[in-house]
Structure 1
Amino acid sequence: MSVVEDRVLTQDIFEDLARHAVRAEEALRLEFVNGRMGVKALPDGDHGRIIAWLTQICVKSDPSRWLFGEQGLRVESYRRGNARPVASLAPLDLFVGQGEWAGPDGVLMVVEATSYDEDTDRRDRIEKPRAYAETGIPVYLLIDRDTCEVKVHSHPDGVRYEQVVTVPYGKTVTLPDPVGIELDTEPLKNWVR
């Protein structure tokens, strides 16, 4: 029987587990979304290249912002939760002094790129859009490597994103304000299995 089975998982217990898991095994990334603890799969080389590509685009668009990789965010208004998006677009100094789990206020966009694991559908396509919308993050960009599509979620209403635009790789899509970037997705064709 594990420690988690012996007691109720609270926010404090989760954060303690996450802190120790990262020290014990760099490959383990814990999240606490929608009242459930989850483990994120390790990113592969293509995943890393996608984020490098997107970082270059975001910084070129506005050098006062950065695409922060793996910054933990406190999400969800109903249940306290912790998510570790692949990347968060924010002003350069937004996370200074906030520690491992930062508040989402000021985050312009969160990004997820699907992993090739069984939890991707539930985690990246269902639970995280809801958590990010509840938190009020203006834009959620999902780079779906399974379907070779990009989904731009915007206009959160506190429960869900009211607008979702889906385009196949190769098309251009607008990342709406406050991001304000036209994203040519053609290069994504190079980084899928």
Structure 2
Amino acid sequence: MAHEPLSQEEVLLEGFLALDTPEGFRAELIEGEIVVTPPPDGDHEDYISLILKQVVRESSTDMDFSANKGLKVTRGPSGLTHRVIPDGTWTPTDRRLFRGAESWMPTEGVAMVAEVTSSRADRDREAKRRCYAQGRIPLYLLVDRSRSAVTLFSDPTDGDYGDVVTHPFGKPLALPAPFSFDLDTSAFG
């Protein structure tokens, strides 16, 4: 029985899923490109820790958190399947979305993702932003170290975010429901 030849996207996905990534590194499939990144530096992890502590302490809704959770994004005008790993992923605790989830879980029910820029900041600013919007993740929080600013993207529509609010480090940033508090960025500088 003859099999249909695999599409270029299917070949890329098979190759990606078969990768043997070195320990501590992470591999993502973003807009048709396989991206491998090394473990984050200490400052990167400090920003995530500062955000996580505030969400636990201040959020109006109990949230579950995962660092480096694989998300599968299959929506969008490009038709590509993206495999992205945010620095932080938050979901409402009452949904228990992480429990029983596969390595690459769908984005439905994710309340917010966060990224802290590293050496290739444009990927976080552009490609990953579009991926998260295509996955209809309501909130994308970007800590941009090279610009000393924090940006909240919201209202995912047509493969991008409709609302963008950027504040310099030191100025609070309002996180809407289900978080409903002002993120203190004074320690980000």
What range describes the TM-score normalised by the shorter chain of this pair? 0.7 to 0.9
Aligned residues: 175
Counterpart residue number, 1:64: 62
Counterpart residue number, 1:140: 140
Counterpart residue number, 1:161: 161
Contact 1:154 1:176 in 2 (8 A): no
Distance, in Å, in 2 between the alignment partners of 1:160 and 1:76 is: 14
Q: Secondary structure at the match of 2:188?
A: helix
Counterpart residue number, 1:10: 12
As a proportion of its length, which structure holds more helix? 1
Give 1:70 shift: 0.3
Q: Secondary structure at the match of 2:97?
A: coil
Counterpart residue number, 1:4: none
Structure 2 counterpart of 1:39, which letter?
V
Distance, in Å, in 1 between the alignment partners of 2:60 and 2:178 is: 11
Distance, in Å, in 2 between the alignment partners of 1:57 and 1:153 is: 19
Give 1:181 shift: 2.5
Contact 1:58 1:67 in 2 (8 A): no
Give 1:75 shift: 1.7
Distance, in Å, in 2 between the alignment partners of 1:63 and 1:125 is: 27
Structure 2 counterpart of 1:47, which letter?
H
Distance, in Å, in 1 between the alignment partners of 2:11 and 2:176 is: 37
Instruction: Calculate the TM-score normalised by the size of structure 2.
Output: 0.86
Q: Deviations over 1:32-81 (max 9, x none)?
A: 01111111242111111111111111112256312210001012412111
Is 45-54 or 163-172 further displaced after alignment? 45-54
Contact 2:61 2:92 in 1 (8 A): no
**Which consecutive segments of 4 or more residues in structure 1 shift more than 4 A?**
none
Contact 1:76 1:132 in 2 (8 A): no
Counterpart residue number, 2:84: 83
Segments of 5+ residues of structure 2 without an aligned counterpart are 1-8
- Aligned residues with identical type, % of pairs: 35
Instruction: Calculate the TM-score normalised by the size of structure 1.
Output: 0.84
Distance, in Å, in 2 between the alignment partners of 1:79 and 1:181 is: 35
Q: Secondary structure at the match of 1:129?
A: helix
Distance, in Å, in 1 between the alignment partners of 2:44 and 2:173 is: 20
Counterpart residue number, 1:37: 34
Segments of 5+ residues of structure 1 without an aligned counterpart are 1-6
Contact 1:109 1:179 in 2 (8 A): no
Counterpart residue number, 2:5: none
Counterpart residue number, 1:50: 47
The 5-angstrom pairing of residues 90-105 of structure 1 reads: 90-92=91-93, 93-105=96-108
The 5-angstrom pairing of residues 99-138 of structure 1 reads: 99-115=102-118, 117=119, 119-121=120-122, 123-138=123-138
